[in-house]
Chains A and B, each alone.
Chain A
Amino acid sequence: MIIRILLLLGLAAIGWFIFLRRNRLPFHLVTMFAMLAAGAVAVVIPQETDRIAQFVGVGRGADLIVYLAIVAVLFVLVHYFAKFVELEHKVTQLTRELAILRAEVERVVPPATAAAEPRATRPAPPPGEPDEPRAS
């Protein structure tokens, strides 16, 4: 069946992707490949998933897989949202430090013509020479 080929190709692609980024612990790699293998088994012999589904109280194996997949996707979603918020806090801290640091630096070396020219293109003072305090 075509669908089996498509699903197996999809699993293989995920496996290849994980293999390429194998900078994790061997435990992670083994776990991921075990899950992929379980998925491949479910694709090749779907009747077996029916037995497991009946055992846990779900009618069809396909339904069981859908339910599990939804829970897994939600888990991943929550996990990444938490990561995202954490990252936001870090960006905030960095931006704050940078803003205050720049203000402290400009207290010593005032931006002479901040309005006239973009700050990024202003040439740095030659090394070794003491900065003349510019008129402010």
Chain B
Amino acid sequence: MPARGYNDAVMHSDRHDTWVVIAAYNEGAVIHDVVAGVKRAGWSVIVVDDGSGDDTAVHARAAGVTVVRHAINLGQGAALQTGIDFALRRGAHHIVTFDADGQHAVDDIPVLIAALADADLALGSRFLGSVEGASRQRMMLLRTAVLMSNRMSGLKLTDAHCGLRAFRATVAPRLRMTQNRMAHASELLRKTKTSGVRVVEVPCTVRYTEHSKRKGQGGFQAVRILFDYFFRAS
């Protein structure tokens, strides 16, 4: 299996062709450590500061990575797509999306990339992997989201909207997201299904901290996401 020992097999220079896209909004408190961790592992990193009111961009630059800055706040979907566009311009072969709040593990990235050997899109799954620090209500909410998401997308996945994903640059045009806010995750799955992108799920570890929980999505936001999904479709 390619997943085993892949971390060692990938030479550091190969990792430069993999761009990790990190969309950040007011993450000044944690962004430096998150970015530094990914960069230390040898991946190319692009941080999209989505019009933060704090010093997110400064902290990210201090970690020694390229930062592109939205002049106004547009939302996570728009920020990720900007990062993806930037990575494609720089000749990325593989693109990874990674949350800025530190809930993902850098060690999961090589596993995702390894899964791309015979797939176009690799999605991290909390439910195949593990979740730390989530309340029971949150797990319930997530499971409900998975059921709804599968119904809407027509895919059979174990997780709905894990922020950790990897895909080949060649399928990026087919997965182009037009949803500016959180509905981009559902949009991505819909486009995966309709465009026949080969998708695989990979176990990943999600660690909720007090910080990430505060910024997380509650049940109320689900209504807004559904509204965006159905009425802002393009």
Contact = CB atoms under 8 A, between A and B. Distances in A.
Nearest to B67: A103
Contact of B71 (A85, A88, A95, A107): A95
B58 A99 contact: no
A89 B81 contact: no
Interface in B153-181: 178, 180
Interface string A67-85: 0000000000000010001
Interface residues of B, number: 25
Contact of A95 (B61, B66, B78, B234): B78
B176 to A, nearest CB: 12
Contacts of A96: 70, 78, 81-82, 85
Q: Is the interface of A mostly helix, strand, loop or mixed?
A: helix
Given A95-B78, A99-B69, A85 B234 contact: yes
20 contacts: A85-B231, A85-B234, A88-B180, A92-B78, A95-B72, A95-B74, A95-B82, A98-B71, A99-B48, A99-B70, A99-B71, A99-B82, A100-B68, A100-B82, A100-B85, A100-B86, A103-B66, A114-B61, A115-B58, A115-B62
Interface of A: 81, 85, 88-89, 91-92, 95-96, 98-100, 102-103, 107, 114-115
Closest 10 CB pairs of A and B: A99-B68, A103-B68, A96-B82, A115-B58, A95-B70, A92-B78, A99-B70, A85-B232, A100-B86, A99-B69
